[in-house]
Amino acid sequence: MKTNSCDYIVVGSGIAGLYIALLAVKSGSVLVLTKGSIDDCNTRYAQGGIAVAMGRDDSPDLHFKDTVAAGAGLCDAEAVRILTNEAADCIADLIRFGVPFDTLDGEITLTREAAHSVPRIMHAGGDATGEHIELALSRQVRSTSIRVLEHCLASEILVQDGRVTGVRALDGHTGSVEEYSCRFLILATGGVGKLFRYTTNSDVVTGDGIALAFEAGAEITDVEFFQFHPTVLRLPGVAPFLISEAVRGEGGVLRNAEGRRFMADYAAEAELATRDVVARSIVYEMKKTGSDRVFLDVTHLSPRLVTTRFPHIYRFCLDHGVDITRGPIPVAPAAHYLMGGVRVNSWGETNITGLFAAGETACAEVHGANRLASNSLLESIVFGKRVVQRTEMTVSPDRGQPRASDCVHSLPEREPLGSAPALNLLGLQSLMWDKVGIVRCGEGLEEAARILATWQKTLPEPSDRLSYELNNLVLCGRLVTEAALLRKESRGAHFRTDFPQASSEWERHNVFRKDAAD
């Protein structure tokens, strides 16, 4: 086993990991570990853009209000203030790092997305924002002394006397496990979208950071809140492809399989209602019409607007036989974004000294029960910057315990089922989609919880990337399902038919910790 040592180890090379690495390299030596190639991540698929209050009729205060309204009572107000107040400063960093945001007559162009009161979404290459961000950041990283190890999967967090000492990682080329030591370990491993059968997420997004952090003794919170994107291309034999929120923002309308526009039946904001409302409404319409899809229609918009504003979507659909300027786009919801994750304070710190989390894998409670579109790229940089600032401080700020009202749990022991279905990735994803998906009920959650617990007991020791990922997915599946079972209400993205209303009693967070005594 070789030993390597540096000041910062960043796990993950999406927006959070690369941005943090670029800021941290001014303060010490930096190693980035990433399990695929550098640009294998969700970031590069982001289309819509990144929210920032810089328009004439906008303000950080209005952005704050919209974010908190979408979060359905569970946003941390201080964290949202930080998000909206520090946004412009971090966007300036992205511009400095070379992200070519779209402009018109020398001014950055802003678009509007669902549940934002005003246009405030910056974009690049029309609908290729994430690709441009990933390209610019990785190019910058390569021009510095930052060391990047690709095809290197972090498999265990090393902790001694309550302090992080490093990480173990599987070298994808040699199959050997190596140890890396550091002063600060930053998890930027993204969410857990691969947990569900239909997903917009990249194959690398398997909840590794959450699973590793939980095993190391960190706290995991709000994982019952999983956002399903309402409009993902649904064509036989074609992998799910996101049709950005911005398409509805520009005037796209939803019609059911019979051609009827339906969103006004469910919400006053119609197509611009929050994602959870639109996703559930689509599920109901699909059920009503007996179809596995609805249609997003932009044929009433000018073809020039459609092809210049959404060149990527236009081209992808055309390549698969749908000219969106002439006919409606078949869509259905798919798993998209995890609001919860590794619990951090407003400096990205976990409850383990020296262990930080940022980006989608972290939960600073900015999104509450439902993320506002285009706030996640922003969260990654705002809180990513604070991680680096925190490591440069000499005095420790308050680490922030769970509030007295929050419920801290360990994962419950469950009696293994005598006969559980055989475990494989598709079986796991189908179980999560069917029982822990957009519309949940206690009975289905209970069934899923028992199957997942049985699977967890039978998992073999992982030895390669796929088996590590499957182990991590099963653990994350258990955390999501147990959290959904505990929350006996409906709020934001978490909807239960047996508890269809929000309850004031549940204006609190579920926290899981391995050694919690409950």
Ligand X SMILES: Cc1cc2nc3c(=O)[nH]c(=O)nc-3n(C[C@H](O)[C@H](O)[C@H](O)COP(=O)(O)OP(=O)(O)OC[C@H]3O[C@@H](n4cnc5c(N)ncnc54)[C@H](O)[C@@H]3O)c2cc1C
In whole angstroms, the minimum distance from the beta carbon of 245 to ligand X comes to 7
**What percent of the residues of the chain are helix, what percent strand, and what percent coil, each to the nearest 5?**
35, 20, 45
Spatial distance between the Cα atoms of 469 and 488, rounded to a whole number of angstroms: 30
User: Do residues 175 and 464 lie in contact, with contact meaning Cβ atoms separated by under 8 Å?
Assistant: yes
In whole angstroms, the minimum distance from the beta carbon of 456 to ligand X comes to 18
Beta carbon nearer to ligand X, 153 or 296: 153
Spatial distance between the Cα atoms of 39 and 278, rounded to a whole number of angstroms: 31
Spatial distance between the Cα atoms of 383 and 168, rounded to a whole number of angstroms: 25
Spatial CA neighbour of 241 closest among 331, 337, 126, 131: 331
In whole angstroms, the minimum distance from the beta carbon of 207 to ligand X comes to 8
Spatial CA neighbour of 325 closest among 353, 289, 300, 295: 300
Kind of pairing between the strands at 177-187 and 355-357: parallel
Q: What are phi and psi of 44, to 5 degrees?
A: -70, -15
The residues annotated as belonging to the active site are 275
User: Do residues 476 and 421 lie in contact, with contact meaning Cβ atoms separated by under 8 Å?
Assistant: no
Residue type at position 417? L
User: Do residues 368 and 74 lie in contact, with contact meaning Cβ atoms separated by under 8 Å?
Assistant: yes
In whole angstroms, the minimum distance from the beta carbon of 376 to ligand X comes to 4
Residue whose structure tokens are 């090393």: 158
Residue whose structure tokens are 């400096």: 347
DSSP β-bridge partners for residue 121: 51, 111
User: Do residues 66 and 159 lie in contact, with contact meaning Cβ atoms separated by under 8 Å?
Assistant: no
Spatial distance between the Cα atoms of 175 and 192, rounded to a whole number of angstroms: 24
In whole angstroms, the minimum distance from the beta carbon of 31 to ligand X comes to 11
What DSSP letter does each residue of 423-451 carry, written as one string? P-HHHHHHHHHHHSSSSB-HHHHHHHHHH
Spatial distance between the Cα atoms of 166 and 185, rounded to a whole number of angstroms: 7
What are the residues binding ligand X (CB under 6 A)?
A: 11-17, 33-36, 40-43, 45-50, 129-130, 153-154, 188-190, 200-201, 204-205, 208, 242, 337, 359-361, 374-377, 380
